């Protein structure tokens, strides 16, 4: 069994690395908060990621069971309309 000092050293190292990795994005964002690129990316990245996830889900749904493809499309359309009507749209 490892010694107590070894375990404490490992835990301290893990804590420091974890804290630094979590704090670094906030420190970088503080400098970039007024950047036009960051503002554009903050709007387009979630849309792009959700679009990719939606396309992947619909493709796998249609490949697995085409009978449920219509229901999946209805769910996507309902979600899009809800976001557009209730304030998630950028305009």
Cα–Cα distance for residue pair 63/55, rounded to 1 Å = 12
Determine the pLDDT at residue 41: 83
Cα–Cα distance for residue pair 2/89, rounded to 1 Å = 56
Largest pairwise CA distance in the chain: 61
Cα–Cα distance for residue pair 58/49, rounded to 1 Å = 14
Could you identify the residue written with the tokens 């309309």?
A: 81
Per-residue pLDDT of the chain (91 residues; tens, 9 = 90+): 789 999 999 999 999 999 999 998 888 877 787 888 888 888 888 888 888 888 888 888 777 777 777 888 888 888 888 877 886 555 5
Cα–Cα distance for residue pair 84/91, rounded to 1 Å = 9
On whether the pTM is more than 0.85, the answer is: no
């Amino acid at each position: 069994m490892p010694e107590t000092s070894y375990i404490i050293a490992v835990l301290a190292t893990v804590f420091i690395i974890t804290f630094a990795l979590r704090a670094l994005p906030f420190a970088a964002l503080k400098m970039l908060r007024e950047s036009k690129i960051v503002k554009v990316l903050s709007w387009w990245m979630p849309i792009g990621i959700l679009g990719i996830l939606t396309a992947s889900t619909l493709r796998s749904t249609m490949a697995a069971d085409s009978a449920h493809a219509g229901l999946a499309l209805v769910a996507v359309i309902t979600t899009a309309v809800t976001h557009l009507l209730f304030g998630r749209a950028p305009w």
